[in-house]
Amino acid sequence: MQYTSKFTSELKASKSEVWKWMTSLEGISKEMSPLMVMTAPANVKSIESVVFEPGKPIFRSWLLLFKVLPFDYSNFTLERVDVDTGFV
């Protein structure tokens, strides 16, 4: 069984500006902040800049509690990217 969540908000930014922010590693980390942030290789600034095969890990991301204490990691994996809409 698969569950889907959908959230909507009205923003004072263009769709392309929102997409650029939500796919940036800075934006992703800010969403989790201040409790935690995620790391990425220095050359990865956005998920748009990575070449991926659906379901295959792209890189290992450390999850840092309060931005300093590593407590877990994620094998960062994308299933799909729907430009200007979202990613899984």
Domain annotation covers residue 81: yes
Q: Which residue from 81, 35, 34, 36 is spatially nearest to 58, judged by alpha carbons?
A: 81
Output the six-digit token pair for 29.
């980390």
Domain annotation covers residue 74: yes
What pTM value is reported for the model?
A: 0.70
Q: How many CB atoms lie within 10 A of CB 37?
A: 21
Per-residue pLDDT of the chain (88 residues; tens, 9 = 90+): 888 888 887 888 888 898 899 889 888 888 888 889 989 999 999 988 888 899 999 999 999 999 899 999 999 999 988 887 788 8
Domain annotation covers residue 22: yes
Residue 21's domain comprises 15-41+57-87
Question: Structural domain tally of the chain?
Answer: 1
Domain annotation covers residue 3: no
Domain annotation covers residue 71: yes
